[in-house]
Amino acid sequence: MADLSTDIQYIKGVGEQRAKALNRLGIFTLQDLIAWFPRRYEDRTQIRRIADLAEGETACVAAMVASPPTVTHIRRGMDLVKLRAVDDSGVLDVTFFNQTWLKNGLRSGETYIFCGKAEGAHQRRKMNTPIVEPEGRQEVTGRIVPIYPLTAGVSQLVLSRSIRQGLDACAGILPDVLPDAIRQQHQLCRIGFAYENIHFPENPEALALARRRLAFEELFLFAIGLRRLKNRREVVRVAPCGDVDMTPFYNALPFTLTHAQRRCVEEALESMRSGLPMNRLCQGDVGSGKTMVAAACVYFCVKNGRQAALMVPTEILAQQHFAALAPLMESLGVRCALLTGSTLAKAKRETSAKLAGGELDFVIGTHALITGSIVYQNLGLVVTDEQHRFGVAQRAALAAKGEHPHTLVMSATPIPRTLALILYGDLDVSIIDELPPGRRPIETYIVPGSYHPRVYNFLHKLIDQGRQAYVVCPQVSGNEELSDERKAVTEYAKTLQTTIFPELKIAFLHGKMKPKEKDAVMQAFARHETDILVSTTVVEVGVDVPNAAVMVVENAEMFGLSQLHQLRGRVGRGEHQSYCILISDNQNEETRQRLKVMAKTSDGFKLAEEDLHLRGPGDFFGERQHGLPGLKVANLGCETKLLQEAQQAADALLEESPGLEPYPTLVERVEQLFTQNTFN
């Protein structure tokens, strides 16, 4: 009998061939298969009359094929199958491209369901390449149909048939990780019903129930996992840090810290004096001055006679931090070093030896800091910057280098408090909610696509003045096929280069490039060797290019406010007046309102709250935001209220049973979730 870890190739009706294709999606086990959730659904339950079809609408009709289909060969690689179908209201001309097998597959005199976009009006109604199946089969029409994320070589039908087989194979053996009492108290459906209806919803109500249950479960497992991490730490005792006179540090700064910065420093020092290992998140908007909060903590730790490390996700960030911090810290007697992937082997060995021998106090670097060969004499504090790029796994790996060092995690992604509770349940949170004085707000404009010539003129003018610009270009919207962001970026860059700005230097950046290549492009941009950087959202990571003064975002409606805010934060980092231009042709009233909020406020927390309010929590649940495994179902839309319910349920259960002994399947799932490696 099958269990959830069964290899899918042994599932009845899947087989070796399909299994291979599914493997490419990362589906290996029965568990993977049934947890491959639809991206969205199409309601194909309504059958319409041909005469009632409005032009441009997507709909299903039940119509009889009136004459045998004909095949026309247009040219190589282009064959058309045409037929005429009728119902009692009218006539529909149907054309299929390159599906010649349908010539024999569709028989005249029989009735089929055609589902597609209606074109033409009155006597000339047409459909091009509709979805078709015999009336009564009800596999791809006549029901709410799941639409899955795909890869080449796997079709919707293959996927949904495999999942059907998978669900049948695990009928009755699905373990329910939610204790019955919690299920009843929160009115959640049973696990079997949930899996059945998330894939093959009987009706919209059943789908809503299934979704609610699975989203709750996901959030609940998360909350349990993070709480357990926190509890585990709270039994560890460390030698408390002693008091340190911070005056020399403050006096060495070229400015006075803001109140918010001071408060965050105080909160962190308090934790380090407590005798428990600190595990703190410092959240602050871009430009709020998180680096100096980190530096203050480093100073405090080093003056306590222990070493400190600052870990960042990219080489270039490491260099920027080193350039900004090393002179300051050295002047205060803190011995500093830089350690990255490109540090030469000899230098690396030296640094490593000095760290082991206690001849260095503070090291800044990339994940080279946590590779096995680096040994610290007495690591007391680990700061990770832009933490959403690091997973729990790395945080843990670095922490393991010391005797429970204090950890401080810096994030520029403002997360509303309700969400922070779930996403950062294992951390204490400090918030820098104030910007240093004297910042010039970034001027933000929302313009339609017809403004492109003006936008380009504007870019030209600023670049002539010596500035640089970012253009974030449209992500090919991720519909059926996994989107090809690479193509979007390279083609946009090419067009700009050849037809708009032949005399300027244009570079591009996308997520499919190797980290080394990305770094090189960023470095060149930072050195002003290029004028315009065309990019996907990968440019979000906190690199400082003070000379960049314009951020143009194409198809701005496709981004959440928080994301737009992150992008906008890439400019306005120097003395120049900076601009953010959001291009959108979207006429939807809600979308326009949303974009207008961007022009009105520059407060990241307000924007995050607004996002949560308008779009739900999904945007915040991507892996990138917090370095935890991405939430799959909750991501598809759940209410904030459900989040609170899940959190409360987790707290209540742990209160009643701290070790969770009566719930072995629950514990197993939580551990699975938290040992997944999230490093990319």
Nearer to ligand ADP, 383 or 534 (CB): 383
Q: Which does 6 bind (CB under 5 to 8 A by kind): Mg ion, ligand ADP, none?
A: none
Count the Cβ atoms, other than its own, within 10 Å of residue 453: 9
Is 284 a residue that touches ligand ADP (CB under 6 A)? Answer: yes
Report the nearest approach of ligand ADP to the CB of residue 412 (Å): 6
Angle of the 156-169 helix axis to the 191-199 helix axis, nearest 10 = 160
Q: Which does 10 bind (CB under 5 to 8 A by kind): ligand ADP, Mg ion, none?
A: none
Q: How far apart are CA 530 and CA 521, in angstroms?
A: 9
Strand positions, DSSP E, 6-139: 40-43, 47-48, 58-65, 70-75, 78-86, 91-97, 111-119, 125-128, 131-134
Candidates 69, 201, 289, 380; binder of ligand ADP (CB under 6 A) is 289
CB 632 within 8 A of CB 218: yes
Nearer to ligand ADP, 115 or 580 (CB): 580
Residues 548-607 that bind Mg ion (CB under 5 A): none
Q: Which does 284 bind (CB under 5 to 8 A by kind): Mg ion, ligand ADP, none?
A: ligand ADP
Nearer to Mg ion, 518 or 570 (CB): 570
Is 436 a residue that touches ligand ADP (CB under 6 A)? Answer: yes
Q: Which does 560 bind (CB under 5 to 8 A by kind): Mg ion, ligand ADP, none?
A: none
Per-residue binder mask for ligand ADP (CB under 6 A), 514-553, x = binder: ----------------------------x-----------
Per-residue binder mask for Mg ion (CB under 5 A), 304-323, x = binder: --------------------
Is 291 a residue that touches ligand ADP (CB under 6 A)? Answer: yes
CA distances 261 to 296, 320, 409, 582, 602, Å, are 10, 20, 15, 31, 19
Helix residue ranges, H only, 342-442: 345-357, 392-399, 417-423
The b-or-e profile of 32-63 (16+ CB within 10 A means b, else e) is: bbbbbbbeebbebeebbebeebeeeeebbbbb
Report the nearest approach of Mg ion to the CB of residue 371 (Å): 23
Question: Which residue, among 436, 413, 404, 394, has the nearest Cα to 281 in the 3D structure?
Answer: 413
Candidates 18, 280, 290, 303; binder of ligand ADP (CB under 6 A) is 290
Question: Which residue, among 399, 385, 427, 389, has the nearest Cα to 284 in the 3D structure?
Answer: 385
Q: Which residue is nearest to ligand ADP (CB)?
A: 289
Nearer to ligand ADP, 247 or 450 (CB): 247
Candidates 33, 214, 297, 412; binder of ligand ADP (CB under 6 A) is 412
Q: Which does 405 bind (CB under 5 to 8 A by kind): Mg ion, ligand ADP, none?
A: none
Per-residue binder mask for ligand ADP (CB under 6 A), 223-262, x = binder: --------------------------------xxxx--x-
Nearer to Mg ion, 106 or 409 (CB): 409
Pairing mode of beta strands 362-365, 307-311:
parallel
Q: Which does 343 bind (CB under 5 to 8 A by kind): Mg ion, ligand ADP, none?
A: none
Nearer to ligand ADP, 260 or 638 (CB): 260
What is the distance, to the nearest Å, from the Cα of residue 7 to the centroid of all Cα atoms in its chain? 28
Report the nearest approach of ligand ADP to the CB of residue 393 (Å): 24
What value, to the nearest 5°, has the Cα angle with vertex 323 and ends 317 and 324? Answer: 90
DSSP state of 154: -
Nearer to Mg ion, 165 or 283 (CB): 283
Report the nearest approach of Mg ion to the CB of residue 575 (Å): 18
Phi, psi for residue 48 in degrees, rounded to 5: -105, 165
- Give 3-state DSSP helix, strand, coil % of the chain, rounded to 5: 45, 20, 40
Part in contact with ligand ADP (CB under 6 A); list of ranges 289-297, 348-356, 364-372, 395-403: 289-297
Q: How far apart are CA 300 and CA 304, in angstroms?
A: 6
Nearer to Mg ion, 225 or 284 (CB): 284
The torsion defined by the Cα of 455, 460, 462 and 464, in degrees rounded to 10, comes to: -170
Would you state the structure tokens that stand for residue 477, as one six-digit string? 């919207």
Is 542 a residue that touches Mg ion (CB under 5 A)? Answer: yes
Residues contacting residue 252 through CB under 8 Å, at least 6 positions apart: 328, 331, 332
Phi, psi for residue 671 in degrees, rounded to 5: -65, -40
Nearer to ligand ADP, 293 or 643 (CB): 293
Interface size with ligand ADP, residues (CB under 6 A): 16
**Sign of torsion over alpha carbons 221, 222, 225, 228:** negative
Q: How far apart are CA 564 and CA 412, in angstroms?
A: 13
CA distances 408 to 47, 264, 304, 393, Å, are 58, 11, 17, 15
Is 165 a residue that touches ligand ADP (CB under 6 A)? Answer: no
Is 287 a residue that touches ligand ADP (CB under 6 A)? Answer: yes
Report the nearest approach of Mg ion to the CB of residue 599 (Å): 25
Is 292 a residue that touches ligand ADP (CB under 6 A)? Answer: yes
Report the nearest approach of Mg ion to the CB of residue 295 (Å): 11
Using only the alpha carbons of the chain, give its radius of gyration.
Answer: 29
Q: Which does 257 bind (CB under 5 to 8 A by kind): Mg ion, ligand ADP, none?
A: ligand ADP
Candidates 6, 197, 283, 288; binder of ligand ADP (CB under 6 A) is 288
Residue ranges binding ligand ADP (CB under 6 A): 255-258, 261, 284, 286-292, 412, 436, 542
Residues forming the site for Mg ion (CB under 5 A):
542
